[in-house]
Amino acid sequence: MVEQRGNSIHLKMLVMAAALIIGAATTPAWASLGGDTASVQADQIHLQGRRTMTAAESYTVHEIQGTSGTVVREYVSSDGKVFGIAWQGPWVPDMRQLLGSYFDQYARANQAKTGARIRRGPVLINEPGLVVQIGGHPRAFAGRAYVPGMLPSGVRAESIQ
């Protein structure tokens, strides 16, 4: 027990150290889509990944190389908001972590019954405040999510990939 507690403290210190290195003031427990740059860092910690940044004209792409082939790309506007997320990997990543406060809307949309016949194809959620697309098959999935109203002007949804 004592040893476990020790590991836990050690882990917390590591997390704090990582936060300092990246220069973020706080580590939010949750959220990403719609969150700020610090929430990208929370995802990075969750995914135990390496992060690289690429600047585009009106946004920055934070690419998190997770373990076992999972890659997450987060699109952050110049005012520091995550307006889109794209990912790929053998399986669907933790959507609650990546969608944050949008997760419940996403889950509700998934449960909505449409049509009398079963459809076996991509997940295509297209609501006024949230777009989520998931495709692929077992052992190779990919998807994207974005908030249409948060796209920086001139940025097309297809850029999130």
Partner 1 sequence: MRTFRAVCTAVIGLAGAFSIGCGGGSSSSTKTNLIATTGQNVAPIVVNSGPANNYANGAFTSVTVCIPGTSTCQTVDGMLVDTGSSGLRIVSSVLTIALPQQKAQSGNPVAECLQFLGSYTWGPVQTADVQIGGEKAASTLIQVLSDTEFSAPAACSNGFPSANTVANLGANGILGVGPAAQDCGTYCEQVQTANFNPYYECSSSTSCQPVAETLAQQVINPVALFPADNNGVVIELPAVSGSAATLTGSLVFGIGTQSNNALGSATIFGIDPSSLSFTTSYQGTPYHGSFIDSGSNGYFILDSGIVPSLPDCPNTPTDSVAAGFYCPTSTQTFSAINQGTNGASGTVNFGIANAETLFTSTTDTVFSELGGPSILGSGSNTVLPYFDWGLPFFYGRNVYTAIENVSTPGGNGPYWAY
φ, ψ dihedrals at 148, nearest 5°? -55, -40
Q: Residue 5 or residue 139: which is nearer to partner 1 going by CB?
A: 139
Contact between 23 and partner 1 per CB under 8 A = no
CA distance between the termini of the chain: 44
| Contact string 58-97 vs partner 1 (x = CB under 8 A) | --------xxxxx--x------------x-xxxxxxxxx-
Give the nearest distance from C-beta 23 to partner 1 in angstroms: 23
From residue 19, how far is each of 93, 97, 144 by CA, in Å?
A: 23, 18, 26
With CB under 8 A as the rule, give the number of residues binding partner 1. 52
Position 44, amino acid: Q
What CA–CA distance (Å, rounded) separates 103 from 51?
Answer: 23
CB 106 within 8 A of CB 125: yes
* 47 binds partner 1, rule: CB under 8 A: yes
28 binds partner 1 (CB under 8 A): no
Binding site for partner 1 (CB under 8 A): 46-49, 66-70, 73, 86, 88-96, 99, 103, 106-107, 110-111, 114-124, 126, 133-144, 158, 161
